[in-house]
Structure 1
Amino acid sequence: MRRHTTFTSVKVIAVGLLTMLASMLGAGTALAHSVVISSTPENGAEIASGPERVSVTFNEALQESFASLTVVGPDGNLWTKGDPVVEGPTVSAELGELGPAGVYTVAFRVTSADGHPVSGTRTFTLTQEGSGTPGAAADSSGESGSGGVPLWPFIVAGVLVFGGGLWFALRKPRGEN
C-alpha cells in the first residue's frame, strides 16, 4: 500500500508543476500592452503646416481615464489646446496653428484595455514657420515611477496557492499511520 501512496504523490507533484508551468507560460499574452500602430502626423514626418488635431492610434481600445497627449515645440512650449480625447484605440488633441519651424515632440501616456499605462513619444518636423501662439512652457521635470502593476504580488499569491494545494494533496488522511 505504501508504494501506491508514493506513486500517487509523485503524480500529484508532477501534475501540479506542469499546471503551474502552463499558467506561467500563458501569462505572456495576458501581459501584452497596447502598441502604437500610427499617428497623425506620422512619426518622423516633415510637414509645411500643422494639422488641426494630433493623434496616436493603438492596436486595441484604450481606457478613457488618465490619458495625456501633449505637443512640445522646438521653442520648449506646449502647442496642444485643451484636453486629449480618447475614442476607441485613438487618443487625440486639438493642435491649431503652429509656430517656429523645427522638431515637435508628441508625448503620450494612455491606459491600455488591460489597465497598464503605456507612454512614449513621436516626432514631426515643421518645415515652414507658422504664426500660431504657443501655450505655457513645457514641464521639463518628467514623470517619475515605472507605472504599471507590480508583478511580485501575483508571484507570491501563486506560490502560496500552489504550496497550499500541494500540502493538501500530500497530507496523510486521518486514521492512517
Structure 2
Amino acid sequence: MRRGVAWVLAAAVIGLGMVGTATPASAHNVLIDSSPENGAEIDTAPDRIDLVFDQIVQPGFNTVTVTGPDQNRWEETSEATVDGETVSTTVHPLGPAGEYTVGFRVLSADGHTVRGSTTFTLTEAGDGDVPPQPADDEASADGSADEASTEEGMPVWPWIAGAAVLLAVGVTVGIRFGGGDTSKG
C-alpha cells in the first residue's frame, strides 16, 4: 500500500506543479516604438506614420488607421507597408488641431492578429481638407469589428484539464498497481 500512496503523491505533486507553472503564450508582437511617439505633442503634421514592433510582422492583412479629433480618417490607405518589424502608412495633410488616434491591426510573427493604438496631439491646425472617407462597412484597424481574434494567446484551461487528466491517471495507476498485501501492517 505504501507504494500506491507514493504514486498518488507523486502524481499530485506533478499535476499541481504543471497547473502552477501554466502561463498564456506570449509570442505575439508588441509595439515598442512609433513615429510620432505615443502621446507626443507636435506642431507639424507628419506625412507618414511608422509603428515598430519587437518581432517581424508578417505581410498581408495589416492595417493602420489615423482618426482625427473630428472623427474623420486621415490615412491615405489603410493597407499598411511592412518592412521587417516596421509597419507604415502615409497620411493626407492633417487638418484640425487636437488628438489623433493611430489604430493598428497587424499579423504577428506567430500568426495571430495583434491590435492596439497610439495617440499624438497636433498642437497647430494643418491646412489639410477632410479626405474622402472609407465606407462604413470597413473594419477599423483597432479591431472593433473583429472580436473573434484575441491578443491574449493560449488560454490556461487546456493546461488545467491536462493536469487533471494526468492526476487521474496517476491515481488510477497508483491504486491499481501499488496495492500489495495490506494485511501486514
Which TM-score bucket, shorter chain as reference?
0.7 to 0.9
Q: Which runs of 5+ in 2 are unaligned?
A: 137-142
Q: What are structure 1's unaligned runs of at least 5 residues?
A: 1-5
Cα RMSD over matched residues? 3.3
**1:151 corresponds to 2:146:** no
Q: Distance in 2 between matches of 1:114 and 1:23?
A: 24
Residue pair 1:81, 1:93 contacting (<8 A) in 2 also: yes
Is this contact kept in 2: 1:76–1:138, CA < 8 A? no
Decide which moves more: 43-52 or 107-116.
107-116
- Point out the structure with the larger strand share: 1
Instruction: Label 1:161 to 1:109 Cα distance change in 2 as closer, same or farther (>3 A).
Output: same
Identity %: 38
Q: Supply the AA of the counterpart residue of 1:77.
A: N
For residue 124 of structure 2, what is the aligned residue in structure 1? Answer: 128
Match of 1:104 among 85, 100, 105: 100
Deviation at 1:98, TM superposition (A): 1.5
Structure 1 partner of 2:66: 71
Calculate the TM-score normalised by the size of structure 2.
0.69
Partner of residue 140, structure 2: none
CA shift for structure 1 position 101: 1.7
Please, what TM-score do these two structures have when normalized by structure 1? 0.72
Q: Matched residues in 1 for 2:164 and 2:44: separation?
A: 59
CA distance in 1, matches of 2:7, 2:60: 45
CA shift at 1:55, angstroms? 2.1
Q: Retained in 2: the 8 A contact 1:36–1:56?
A: yes
Higher helix share: 1
Superposition deviation, residue 77 in structure 1: 1.2
Q: Once superposed, which parts of structure 1, at least 4 consecutive aligned residues long, lie more than 6 Å away? A: none
Contact 1:84–1:92 (Cα < 8 Å) also in 2: yes
Which of 104, 113, 126 is matched with 2:109 structurally?
113
